[in-house]
């Protein structure tokens, strides 16, 4: 299935929602420290409802540790200045869908990391800055899953 990678997420509710997303879709959620919360945070627990035990969640000390563990063949960095639309990508199981912090997105050095296959954007009105992190991940995961026939889903 697909792998979601949040690089230094800050808001517990977004990560809680991503835990729920991972459980419901069969995706894996990978988090790179430092995190802006701890796993005992009530907002994280509330957003994830009772899906915490059903999701595959891995926390990595550094992005390099994440690369080592994931050994990705393809990484799509979601960023407002991406060169491809998220619908232009032909997603494959095992792809890493990478997102940055809520406040600033992905740092330039991460956007241009040699592991990154392509920088990808979600369309939005030009006067607005960004879309919520959990919403962005949901859009990307569901598009990737749709392209792969919603493999494993109950229909």
Residues at the annotated binding site for S-adenosyl-L-methionine? 100, 122, 130
Taking the model in full, what pTM does it have? 0.94
Least confident of 18-32, 44-58, 72-86: 44-58
Residue 154 pLDDT level (bands cut at 50, 70, 90)? confident
Binding residues: 100, 122, 130
Going along the chain from its start, the domains and CATH numbers come out as: 3-147 (3.40.1280.10)
Q: Is 80 exceeded by the pLDDT of residue 47?
A: no
pLDDT in tens, 60-104: 999 999 999 999 999 999 999 999 999 999 999 999 999 999 999
Q: Residue 37: pLDDT band by 50, 70, 90 thresholds?
A: confident
How many CB atoms neighbour CB 138 within 10 A?
19
């Amino acid at each position: 299935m697909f792998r979601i990678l949040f690089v230094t997420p800050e808001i517990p509710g977004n990560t809680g929602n991503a835990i729920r997303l991972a459980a419901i879709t069969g995706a894996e959620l990978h988090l790179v420290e430092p995190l802006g919360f701890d796993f005992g945070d009530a907002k994280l627990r509330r957003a994830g409802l009772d899906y915490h035990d059903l999701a595959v969640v891995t926390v990595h000390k550094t992005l390099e540790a994440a690369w080592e563990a994931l050994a990705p063949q393809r990484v799509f960095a979601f960023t407002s200045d991406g060169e491809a639309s998220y619908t232009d990508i032909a997603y494959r199981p095992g792809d890493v869908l990478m997102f940055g912090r809520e406040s600033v997105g992905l740092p330039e050095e991460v956007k241009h990391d040699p592991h990154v296959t392509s920088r990808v954007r979600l369309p939005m009105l030009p006067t607005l800055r960004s879309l919520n992190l959990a919403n962005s991940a949901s859009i990307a995961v569901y598009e990737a899953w749709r392209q792969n026939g919603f493999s494993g889903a109950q229909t």
